[in-house]
Amino acid sequence: MRDGAVKRPRQEEDSGGGLHERRSGSSQRGRKDVEGNGHREPALTSDRGRENDRRQRDNGRGDEGGSFYRRSKRDNSRGRDERCDRDASGGHRERSHNDIRPSIHQGGRGIGRGGRGRGSGTCRGGGRAAQKKNDREEFDLVVSRPQTEEGQAMSKQAVLGNALPVNLQANYFQVARRPKWGVFHYRVDFKPDETDTKIKKMLLRQHIETLPANIFDGSSLYSTTRKMMLYSKQENTDDMVELSIRLVAEVAATDCMYLQLLNILVRKCLEAMGLDEINRNFYDSNQAIKLEAHHLQLWPGYKTSIRNHENSILLGVELTHKVLRLDSCLQVINDIQRRCYDRSRVRNELVGSIVMTVYNRQTYQVDDIKWDSSPTQSFDFQGKQITFMDYFKTKYNINISDPRQPLLVSRPKKKDFHRGTRQPILLIPELCQMTGLSEEMRSNYQLMKSLAVHTQVEPAARVAKLNDFMNRLQTDPKIVEELLRWGLKFRNRLVDLPGRVVPSESIKLGDGKVECPNTKYEWTNAFRDKPMYSSIPLKTWVVIMPGIAAAGVDKLIKTMQHVAAPLKFVISTPVAFHRIGSSHPNEYARAVDDVMNKYKDSIQLLFVILPKIATDTYAAIKKRATLEFGIPSQCFVTGKPQIEKNLSSVCTKLVVQMNAKIGGVPWTVHNPMQKLMVVGFDLYHCGKRKGASVGAMAASTCDSLAKYYSTASYLPNKDALSDKVGVDFAKCLHAYQIINKVLPSRIIMYRDGVGDGQLKYVFETELRAIRETIKSIYKSSAQPEPKFTFIVVTKKINTRLFASQNNGRPINPRPGTVVDDVITLPERYDFYLVSQSSPLGCAAPVSYNVLYDTQGLDPNKLQRFTYKLCHMYFNWSSTITVPAPCQYAHKLAYLTGLSLGAPSSERLANSLHFL
């Protein structure tokens, strides 16, 4: 592993074309948006702002997006021989500190065939704007794959060992043939100026007979010939529009723009299928699924991406769905104001949500509401003053019915500032459709059940839909002709790849007993007659309850004591039952105060009974207990029929959770490494609190990996990367040292919530801060620095894996399935792991990218250790999607950001109070 990072181009959108349009902040980071940006809606912009926008459009069209690099045949054969040698020897040579060679490349040939670095070709033209563009592109790539002393890439594939080999498929199609000739890249300008990308594409399509194979994204034209000037007619007015075409660059097959071009071509094919582009993805509105009972529409669609993978270029295709609410923002405003004329409630409902404009299907995030503005307000459009009402009537033939409605504000984000957009975008509520689900909707069981019928597509149906997609791509005459003109061809079946299923872990319980997970990969039945690994007697605790819940409390307590007995968890009778008159949040807060003022530090746990799920009540309880008094609290919602029906099962899970909160250990797994600290880090972005984010860290403090120190920090803005990670990491090291009287000799950190576009920043900022913290603390303690591994965990990925039954029917892979070849990236030390059982829908693997490593563990050991940690989350007696430290960090960040509003009391730092 190296201390540096290869700088290579990043695929990133920079192809707008209008004055005031942008994509929503909810869109996936790090992915390209080149095709069809749509229309920039009017905003109040100064002359200087318009001039900045104009200059940005004129200058920002140099060398764009994409990247490509290659390896010679000799390199390929040498890589295969090297892998065969290691497999034959039965293992991998450990990577010692001497094997880790610092290296910072500036382009050139990368690791693996078809990588992502610069090739030998050149991208001419573009000047300063092109350089700025390339600087942004280079931001996201960090080469993490270790090299030998000879400069060869070390194998990241684990040996089979005692794992079970398995044949898999993934949702990728191999590029069987790709263009081999050069393509000319042009900048297209319109006179008079046109801002709507759809109109610009219509104007260019008038010359389809005279232009050869070409791709146009609204500003950049890629073609195999040269054209200097074209003239087109506007559809409605017959006004002539001049199209000025200027040569920017020549794109060769090895140029940095090559992959970008292939992605644009695929997006063009999706348009030819009649799909609608929304937020970088394409949806089939003709196949919309209406859920009339819930006033929702569900649009099925596809996410696509062409990328260089381990041995070839692959087209990734994933199914997606867009949830659209049938009510407009104006209807939401009117409904709230009819019930209660409270503008704060309107703000709470709309601010932070994503809306879609009905006239051009662009999405925006609502950042504010301008109550003093209305559609009758004028703005400057092409040098003339025009009202919003007249603009939409002229442009889209839309009549706005309510001239007194307020305007929604969508503020420009960082990428908009890069393009010169400084002014907020103003939207008409009547013309904005709500998207996504509110918290109230998510808590509606029937609604979520109805959605799951369509969104949780099981493997066989998913594979059939993916094959149908490729069949459409290869049989539609227009698309076939377009691909043939470019020389691009895809294989018609999903890519095959090898995988391994690592052995299931044995669960260590009390009295030396061991439980093996069942066929569902869970061990819930162990808690019927086997003791927990260790328990803390619960002797002093208080129950807080409303009067309406008093009747069933005795039965609940007795059931808890009954199921806890075989677990050797002693639960005494509560020292007090504190009744409250109502279930109002303030009543619960006062009750916590009264109990704590009476008993002070003599009680171990507050047990709070709630009649129903209520976010504000839960927050009120947690704030008083967690922030003010630093005592663990357990909330329990009663009154549900399923609780009464399965009371013993519910109580078993409840007592296991309570034991973990007060310091007990329900179970553990074998840990082969001593003096090891495992750290998880995650971020939570507070949607309703503008710009606020919470970073949380959970670090193990014992060799059983079952006890944790946790800390959280508020960040000043809504940034996905924390600059306080070094300070929090130092707290974890000191906590470990206090408990163990020595610092850890090994540290493995799992960083969750990082997009591809943030890797370079994480590497250069977070990782550097952590390494400096380690160096400083270990130096002051006169201890040698520990072996350290930093792994980026990515859950939200588009990769799906499919195993098969004996009859060939696709099924979900078994938990423990690992993939480290074919679909992995050649420049990374990465692997995919399916750790959870998925009885519904399709199992989603998690991507692990080893960004920094001095441990010397071979891939097999690191992969299996990661799987071990997926067994260690005490809220679920089964494997979970990510390692337990990541999930603990996520829970703490979520609780802090959503309910607490401030970091927890330091008294709770060494307990899992947030479970």
Summarised one tens digit per residue, pLDDT across range 592-643 is: 999 999 998 899 999 999 988 888 899 999 999 999 999 999 999 886 655 6
Are 353 and 366 a contacting pair, CB within 8 Å?
yes
pLDDT at 331: 92
pTM comes to 0.79
Torsion of CA 698, 701, 705, 708, to 10 degrees: -40
Three-state DSSP state, 469: helix
Within 10 Å of residue 348's Cβ, how many Cβ atoms? 12
CA angle 812, 813, 818 (to 5 degrees): 150
Q: Is 752 a catalytic residue?
A: yes
Lateral strand order in the sheet of 541-546: 576-580, 541-546, 605-610, 633-637
Going by C-beta distance under 8 Å and a sequence separation of 6 or more, which residues neighbour residue 733? Answer: 677, 743, 744, 773, 774, 777
For the chain, 915 residues long, the average pLDDT of each consecutive 10-residue run is 36 31 35 34 36 39 30 34 34 35 30 36 39 43 77 78 89 87 79 76 76 76 66 66 78 74 89 87 91 89 92 93 90 88 85 88 89 92 89 92 94 68 87 86 84 91 95 92 87 94 92 91 91 95 87 89 94 93 90 92 92 87 93 86 74 95 95 95 74 87 95 73 82 96 96 82 89 95 95 94 90 94 92 91 93 91 95 94 96 91 92 94
Map 515-567 to HEC letters.
ECCCCCCECHHHHHCCCCCECCCECCEEEEEEHHHHHHHHHHHHHHHHHHCCC
Q: How far is residue 140's CA from residue 101's CA, in Å, rounded to a whole number?
A: 21
Q: Is 511 a catalytic residue?
A: no
Are 849 and 763 a contacting pair, CB within 8 Å?
no
Strand partners, 609: 636
Supply 24's token pair: 């929503």
Q: Give Cα 204 distance to the centre of its chain.
A: 37
The H or E element containing residue 356 is strand 354-357
Q: How far is residue 620's CA from residue 597's CA, in Å, rounded to a whole number?
A: 17
Supply 396's token pair: 């889209």
Are 305 and 798 a contacting pair, CB within 8 Å?
yes
How large is the C-alpha radius of gyration of the chain? 29
The DSSP bridge pattern shows strands 817-819 and 830-834 to be antiparallel
Given 14, 416, 682, 830, which residue is catalytic? 682
pLDDT at 256: 65
Strand partners, 229: 244
Q: Phi and psi for 265 in degrees, rounded to 5?
A: -65, -40
Q: How far is residue 828's CA from residue 309's CA, in Å, rounded to a whole number?
A: 10
Where do the domains of the chain lie, and which CATH numbers do they carry?
272-456 (2.170.260.10), 535-662 (3.40.50.2300), 673-795+851-908 (3.30.420.10)
Q: For residue 859, give the nearest of 787, 791, 785, 771 by alpha carbon.
A: 791
Please state whether 420 falls in left (phi above 0), alpha (psi between -120 and 50) or beta: left
Strand partners, 714: 694
Q: How far is residue 183's CA from residue 190's CA, in Å, rounded to a whole number?
A: 22
Burial state string for 476-486 with b = 16 or more CB within 10 A and e = fewer than 16: beebeebbeeb
Residue 631 buriedness (CB in 10 A; 0-12 / 13-18 / 19+): buried
Going by C-beta distance under 8 Å and a sequence separation of 6 or more, which residues neighbour residue 43? Answer: 19, 20, 379, 423, 424, 425, 426
Q: How far is residue 541's CA from residue 553's CA, in Å, rounded to a whole number?
A: 14
Given 53, 416, 728, 752, which residue is catalytic? 752
The H or E element containing residue 641 is helix 641-645
Q: How far is residue 463's CA from residue 773's CA, in Å, rounded to a whole number?
A: 48
Going by C-beta distance under 8 Å and a sequence separation of 6 or more, which residues neighbour residue 601? Answer: none
Strand partners, 249: 185
